[in-house]
């Protein structure tokens, strides 16, 4: 074993989030991907490694100008490179977090990051078919804008592992200058014979006239690029209108939607905490929101927040987070869809019905942790929050 092998072996003794769901990660590199997109690379803490599934996301918990903000970003690096983890962020005009990251996160900076979550992931068949002598599977990856990130993690993973899965990767962008990972994807295509990459641009860039496919993804494009569409599992990620358009295109082709997967977490959705903050900033009180009448909470179960000392009433058919907001509380939350894990807390007593979307791991459920955004009480509750 070489000295490098020895150092690497000793550096990967424990999974990064094995002891705590929240870990302070150090940025070790910032990469300029396009004119308004950067990748931020984080190093695993000494003696640890990153473990996640290609396509999952992490949640950053930040404080910007005295305001606590939580944002989720898909991991763009592959799990095959366990000592580094990267997120790729597009600067959004007026976006407090994306602009802060672009302007302030530099090598040496640290940020608190929650463990990876999400169910939009690369299926095992993409990499294990070599061991089972099964016919290589076929995939269609469709992305637009920064929706490319989970599919990039999947593509990097298959390339690293030498998978012979047949992949057609079609990415849509406004202009050639907006194609994220353009050169890397072209490089992968040039050396991996079973990966075909197609870029589609709506317009030229002033300094870069686009010679390829133009406009938006269409039925004719799909028919030309993937005549064997029915044989492929399709993975889609991008803005909500783009994904809706893709669904319509596939429906027109009588596609079998049991083979369809999309990133259902809308990362652009305004978190419930931000909605309430907007109401408060506009000078609206509870009477304004309720149409001038103060409404009493419906009969239900009591929910005690042990650390804050607050006890509220939550209806049997009401999510705990919604009841907390209605009572004027501001518990940590982000997606309100049971996906990001931000509202996770320990249930000290009582029972709940929880219907989550991958935002909590089985071992955490076994430790009596719940997501209050997607949990309804079945009895009186006491929470460690």
Average pLDDT, whole number, for the chain? 87
The pLDDT tens digits for 207-253 are 889 999 999 999 999 999 999 999 999 999 999 999 999 999 999 99
Tell me if 349 sits within 8 A of 339, measured CB to CB.
no
CA–CA separation, 376 and 52 (whole Å): 29
pLDDT number for residue 130: 64
Give the three-state DSSP class for 171. Answer: strand
Tell me if 267 sits within 8 A of 173, measured CB to CB.
no
The pLDDT tens digits for 237-250 are 999 999 999 999 99
pLDDT number for residue 286: 29
**Crossing angle, helix 148-161 and helix 125-132, to 10 degrees?**
20
Return the structure tokens found at 255. 């596609």
Share of the chain above pLDDT 90, in %: 71
Q: What is the dihedral of CA 297, 358, 245, 182, to 10 degrees?
A: 130
Consecutive H or E run containing 150: helix 148-161
pLDDT number for residue 145: 94
* Contacts for 223 with CB less than 8 Å, ≥ 6 apart: 253
For residue 218, what are the CA distances in angstroms to 143, 168, 196, 252, 257? 13, 16, 18, 11, 18
**CB count in 10 Å sphere of residue 184:** 15
pLDDT number for residue 133: 61
pLDDT number for residue 265: 59
Please report where in the chains the tokens 């390829």 appear, as a residue: 212
Please report where in the chains the tokens 């290609």 appear, as a residue: 54
CA–CA separation, 182 and 174 (whole Å): 13
Q: Nearest-5° angle of CA 75, CA 79, CA 82? A: 105
* Residue 343 DSSP label: T
Sign of CA dihedral 239, 241, 242, 244: positive
pLDDT lower than 50: segments of the chain: 1-12, 267-298
For the chain, the 3-state helix, strand and coil shares in percent, each to the nearest 5, are 30, 30, 40
């Amino acid at each position: 074993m070489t000295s490098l092998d020895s150092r690497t072996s000793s550096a990967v003794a424990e999974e990064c989030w094995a002891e705590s769901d929240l870990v302070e990660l150090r940025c070790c590199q910032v990469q300029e991907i396009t004119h308004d997109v950067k990748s931020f690379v984080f190093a695993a803490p000494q003696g640890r490694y990153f473990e996640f599934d290609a396509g999952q996301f992490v949640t950053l918990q930040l404080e910007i100008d005295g305001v606590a903000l939580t944002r989720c970003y898909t991991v763009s690096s592959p799990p095959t490179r366990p000592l580094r983890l990267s997120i790729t962020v597009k600067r959004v005009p007026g976006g407090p977090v994306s602009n802060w990251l672009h302007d302030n996160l530099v090598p040496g900076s640290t940020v608190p990051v929650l463990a990876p979550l999400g169910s939009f992931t690369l299926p095992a068949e993409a990499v294990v078919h070599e061991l089972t002598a099964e016919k290589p599977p076929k995939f269609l990856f469709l992305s637009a804008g920064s929706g490319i990130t989970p599919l990039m993690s999947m593509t990097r993973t298959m390339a690293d592992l030498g998978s012979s899965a047949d992949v057609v990767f079609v990415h849509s962008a406004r202009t050639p200058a907006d194609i994220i990972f353009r050169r890397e994807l072209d490089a992968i295509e040039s050396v991996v014979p079973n990966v075909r990459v197609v870029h589609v641009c709506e317009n030229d860039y002033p300094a870069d006239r686009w010679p390829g496919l133009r406009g938006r993804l269409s039925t004719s494009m799909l028919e030309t690029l993937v005549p064997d569409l029915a044989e492929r599992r399709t993975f889609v990620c991008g803005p909500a209108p783009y994904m809706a358009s893709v669904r319509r295109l596939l429906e027109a082709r009588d596609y079998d939607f049991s083979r369809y997967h999309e990133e259902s977490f809308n990362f652009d959705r305004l978190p419930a905490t931000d909605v309430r903050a907007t109401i408060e900033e506009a000078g609206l009180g509870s009477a304004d929101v309720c149409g001038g009448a103060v409404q009493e909470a419906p009969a239900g179960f009591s929910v005690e927040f042990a650390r804050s000392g607050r006890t509220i009433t939550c209806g049997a058919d009401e999510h705990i987070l919604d009841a907390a907001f209605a009572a004027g509380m501001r518990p940590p939350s982000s997606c309100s869809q049971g996906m990001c894990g931000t509202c996770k807390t320990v249930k000290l007593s009582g029972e709940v019905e929880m219907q989550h979307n991958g935002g909590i791991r089985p071992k955490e459920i076994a430790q009596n942790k719940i997501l209050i955004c997607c949990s309804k009480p079945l009895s009186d509750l006491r929470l460690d929050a």
